[in-house]
Structure 1
Amino acid sequence: MNRKDFLKASAIFAASSMYSGAHAFTLQNGKIRVGAIGVNGMGWSNLNALLKDDKVVCTALCDVDENVLQKRSDELAQRGITVKRYVDYKELLRDNVVDAVIIATPDHWHTLQMVDAVNAGKHVYVEKPIGNSIKECEVMVAAAQRNKSIVQVGQWQRSQKHFRDAIDFVHSGKLGKIRQVKAWSYVGWKKTISNKPDAPIPAGVHYDKWLGPAQSRPFNPNRFHFEFRWFWDYAGGLMTDWGVHMLDYALLGMKVSDPISIMASGGKFADPNGAAETPDTLTAVYQFDDFNIQWEHALGLDLGPYNRTHGVAFIGNNGTLVLDRGGWEVISEKDKGITVPLKKSSDNGLEKHMVNFVDAIVKKDASMLNAPIEAGAHIAAFSQMGNIAYRTGKKLFWDKKYRKFTDREANKYLVSEYHNGYKLPNV
């Protein structure tokens, strides 16, 4: 890739954007008012990291599980923070009590909520993967650009120093010709889920608001809260849950965007009779002009490549750089002498990511963002390609000009199906 092509590609996945936020916001005691939509898991972590910035105040929480909503509002009250509570995110957006929102709901809700938020004049921090289909990602980018909103994606590793230092080393050329890049996630602490019968909707849960555009089904505990990510209706399993983190750095390191082809193989090998739909074991191979990027994941196992539970490895003729959340190192090929001892992480990526988000809002400049919506959309779509190759059982070829596959069956997976009267936003 020459410099001109790289600069064009970097508009997709580098920390830049071609628009700047023009929204005015009202300060409460000199602070940006923030509301969180979805506060059971990562949304709560995001909010707490954001509240460490003294330019921010939390004014609202929203969750379709009133048990969670009560718990989180009580915890904030103990810290002297009083918030308004909602079970319908649209009421939060209409009430004009926030300038920016955190969206940390299940993946199948991200697009609708993000588009509604920017249409309402809010800036957004949206969890990854930003969408549950390639088309959803495209819609979200268009909505952010049309509204000139500041939209940061929850790929907080982009704000960590050691990740950037590692990529600088990759770009130095010292590894020699890189022929293979490996990215992976082995999640030993999370076992497969056994089958459970349908059950009554728990008290306080607004199940219709949880389902939203997903197919109507009886309530089942396997599909609720954390476990939603193992079902195609709501998410894409480990391929999209962790793939967006590690594959993002594979692309950044190699200065590429769109693959030539994708193939994948795997299945429910750990528990063929388990309740999950997404594969617990998967390998996907993305072909580029003169190298491959390989993704692999496994639930219930910890011993991934290089004895790491997750990471990305750039395998060059001179040596291999191995990078994960703990740090990076270089393992030299025989007689090449480029060994670099482990350089450990020295900062809190999530907190730095939130500082970056707030600074971009204050300065009304989306070009400051470390993980802009374009970057989040691109890597979410890239990860979706691996799932689509797995679901079709075919080697797929990608037409980057028309943003689709050359295979008709595969193109059916480009757009999520919407149900219950919901429609994909037309932006």
Structure 2
Amino acid sequence: MSLQPAPTTRRSFIRHTALAATALSASRVLGANETVRVAAIGVGGQGTGNAKRFSKVPGVEIAYVCDPDTVALDRAKKTFPNAKTTQDLRHVMDDQSIDAVIVSTGNHWHVLAAIWACQAGKDVYVEKPVSHNIWEGRQLVAAARKYNRIVQGGTQQRSDPFHDELKAYLDSGTLGAMKYVRCNHYGMRATIGKRDTPLAPPTTVDYNLWLGPAQDVPILREKFHYDWHWNWNTGNGELGNWGPHILDDLRNVVFRDKVSLPKRVLAGGGRYGWDDAGETPNTHFLYYDTGVVPVIMDVHNLPRQKGMKAPDVYRRRRSSAFMIIECEGGYYAGGRGGGSAHDPEGKVIQKFKGDGGGTHAANFIAAVRSRKSSDLKAEIEQIHFSSAWCHLGNISWQLGQNADLDTAKARLKDFQPWQEVIEDLPAHLTANEVTLKPGDVKVGPILEIDAEKETFIGESATPEALALLKREYREGFAVPEAV
């Protein structure tokens, strides 16, 4: 399907509003008791949930809802009957009565929508991953700085008070020195199917606006909405879906945000058990060399065994906790909203309970009023870094070659946790009635990273790798080179 960009291009939008150079003057100065008028851009399940959470913050009004699908708009209108509606987010940007936007679109729209909002003098709450690729994430940070905008990432666990308690506990030395960290996400998914002929977008969807920055390529999955996650054109796979939460916990709790990007990244895995239109791995294992504490990550979308409605568990003995911090004198295992510290035999020695970050929306609104980015729990640059860890892991996998388990193990033959994650793979797949054959394991290169320049260096800086730091944009929907 080929559609032309909407008549109102980004250039004419800037000319019409004259806001690119006057974002500060476009902002309303909010008094302490004045209502903050918020627009929800993208009102699917997550977007509507975000809008509801913001509507419960005192002094906030959901004044505008926007979605390219009129079905979603009609549904949102029932929840927010007084809100204006539009399919075109540019109308939101043009409305100077809107103070802030919540961007809950598909991943491919996150950065462009957020940059347009910054240029229009609006503050931004943007869902994770805050970018579809590393380069555009940096462009969003640049826009936030240039236009002096309050920009918060949607990693709400940053607002969970138990994180500070856990940091203090780790600093106490009770568990001893950290040896390595194991990050997991075991969440069940199903096949997305594979069509012989391209799927036609629903007639209720303005497909040009839905695509935005993404390429107009045939859709061969069965379902239009949500399953865009598993195609590289619009999504970032499960690593890009859950990874920003888990790796942001890691960067916040373990590294205290002092490690922006890893020094090296290695990934492997595959898409097993489903002959479908999905492109992203459903079994993905990764190694991050931070120069401080090494990190292993394991992502599964298949169940514990075929036919069982239960996710896999780490080593069949611990919970499927997001983050396991292995220390000299025990370990910590936890996820959203809490966790527990254990002695070397597994006995619980201290529990931690949080609220999952229930005050995250309120934190954003407080910063909108104070005009201090330092008040944000998840300021955009830190969440850009956490999202970039996911993109780096995806790039290593995308550059991988079909190989076998021995090849994967040989990549880091002296690091036992890497050996263990690969040795666990056959049992997991066998339980799902998948038999590995030679060439079934995709093994990526070890990528070396210049954290300051956010690019690959040395032998890693191949044209293929460097190309994946960015993307090609459709005319009229390009993330700007100069924000």
| Aligned counterparts of 2:155 and 2:56: Cα–Cα separation in 1 | 18
Corresponding residue SS for 2:359: helix
In the TM superposition, residue 29 of structure 1 has moved relative to its aligned partner by: 8.6
Q: Assess, with a 3 A threshold, how the Cα gap between structure 1 residues 348 and 292 changes in structure 2: closer, same or farther.
A: closer
Identity %: 31
1:358 match: 365
| Aligned counterparts of 2:41 and 2:220: Cα–Cα separation in 1 | 22
2:282 match: 280
Q: Assess, with a 3 A threshold, how the Cα gap between structure 1 residues 191 and 171 changes in structure 2: closer, same or farther.
A: farther
Corresponding residue SS for 1:242: helix
In the TM superposition, residue 355 of structure 1 has moved relative to its aligned partner by: 0.8
1:328 match: 339
Amino acid at match of 2:451: K
Q: Assess, with a 3 A threshold, how the Cα gap between structure 1 residues 310 and 330 changes in structure 2: closer, same or farther.
A: closer
Q: Assess, with a 3 A threshold, how the Cα gap between structure 1 residues 29 and 289 changes in structure 2: closer, same or farther.
A: closer
| Aligned counterparts of 1:366 and 1:338: Cα–Cα separation in 2 | 41
Aligned mate of 2:312, from 292, 303, 306: 303
In the TM superposition, residue 83 of structure 1 has moved relative to its aligned partner by: 1.0
1:145 match: 145
| Aligned counterparts of 1:419 and 1:223: Cα–Cα separation in 2 | 23
Amino acid at match of 2:262: P
| Aligned counterparts of 1:38 and 1:404: Cα–Cα separation in 2 | 31
Corresponding residue SS for 2:331: strand
Structure 1, 37-46 or 325-334: larger mean CA deviation: 325-334
Amino acid at match of 1:86: T
| Aligned counterparts of 1:307 and 1:182: Cα–Cα separation in 2 | 12
Corresponding residue SS for 1:225: coil
| Aligned counterparts of 2:335 and 2:312: Cα–Cα separation in 1 | 14
- 2:367 equivalent to 1:368: no
Amino acid at match of 1:297: V
Q: Assess, with a 3 A threshold, how the Cα gap between structure 1 residues 164 and 194 changes in structure 2: closer, same or farther.
A: farther
Between the two structures, name the one with larger relative contact order (CA 8 Å, sep ≥ 6). Answer: 1
1:193 match: 192
Deviations 1:324-356 (A, max 9, x none): 11421111115xx994243333x252x300110
Paired residues of 2:192 and 2:223 also in contact (CA < 8 A): no
Aligned mate of 2:48, from 44, 56, 64: 44
1:318 match: 329
1:13 match: none
Q: Assess, with a 3 A threshold, how the Cα gap between structure 1 residues 344 and 275 changes in structure 2: closer, same or farther.
A: same
Paired residues of 2:156 and 2:356 also in contact (CA < 8 A): no
Larger radius of gyration: 2
| Aligned counterparts of 1:415 and 1:199: Cα–Cα separation in 2 | 27
Paired residues of 1:212 and 1:420 also in contact (CA < 8 A): no
In the TM superposition, residue 221 of structure 1 has moved relative to its aligned partner by: 5.5
Q: Assess, with a 3 A threshold, how the Cα gap between structure 1 residues 145 and 223 changes in structure 2: closer, same or farther.
A: farther
| Aligned counterparts of 2:273 and 2:336: Cα–Cα separation in 1 | 26
Runs of at least 5 residues in structure 1 that lack an aligned partner in the other structure = 1-20
| Aligned counterparts of 1:85 and 1:28: Cα–Cα separation in 2 | 27
Q: Give the count of matched residue pairs.
A: 397
1:260 match: 263
- TM-score, length-scaled by structure 2: 0.78
- 2:422 equivalent to 1:415: no
- Over the aligned positions, Cα root-mean-square deviation in angstroms equals 2.1
Deviations 1:289-344 (A, max 9, x none): 3531111111132123254344111100101011111421111115xx99424333
Paired residues of 1:185 and 1:304 also in contact (CA < 8 A): no
| Aligned counterparts of 1:42 and 1:222: Cα–Cα separation in 2 | 21
Corresponding residue SS for 2:333: strand
Corresponding residue SS for 2:183: strand
In the TM superposition, residue 54 of structure 1 has moved relative to its aligned partner by: 1.7
Amino acid at match of 1:285: Y
1:17 match: none
Corresponding residue SS for 2:287: strand
1:14 match: none
Paired residues of 1:270 and 1:280 also in contact (CA < 8 A): no
| Aligned counterparts of 1:321 and 1:279: Cα–Cα separation in 2 | 28
In the TM superposition, residue 26 of structure 1 has moved relative to its aligned partner by: 5.7
Amino acid at match of 1:59: A
Paired residues of 2:321 and 2:333 also in contact (CA < 8 A): no
Amino acid at match of 1:329: S
2:349 match: 340
Deviations 1:39-61 (A, max 9, x none): 01211111101111121011100
In the TM superposition, residue 203 of structure 1 has moved relative to its aligned partner by: 2.1
Amino acid at match of 2:191: T
Paired residues of 2:220 and 2:277 also in contact (CA < 8 A): no
In the TM superposition, residue 179 of structure 1 has moved relative to its aligned partner by: 1.6
Deviations 1:132-156 (A, max 9, x none): 1110110000000111111111000
- TM-score, length-scaled by structure 1: 0.88
In the TM superposition, residue 93 of structure 1 has moved relative to its aligned partner by: 1.1
- Write the mapping of 1:173-252 to structure 2, written as runs, cut at 5 A: 173-188=173-188, 190-196=189-195, 197-218=197-218, 222=222, 224-252=224-252
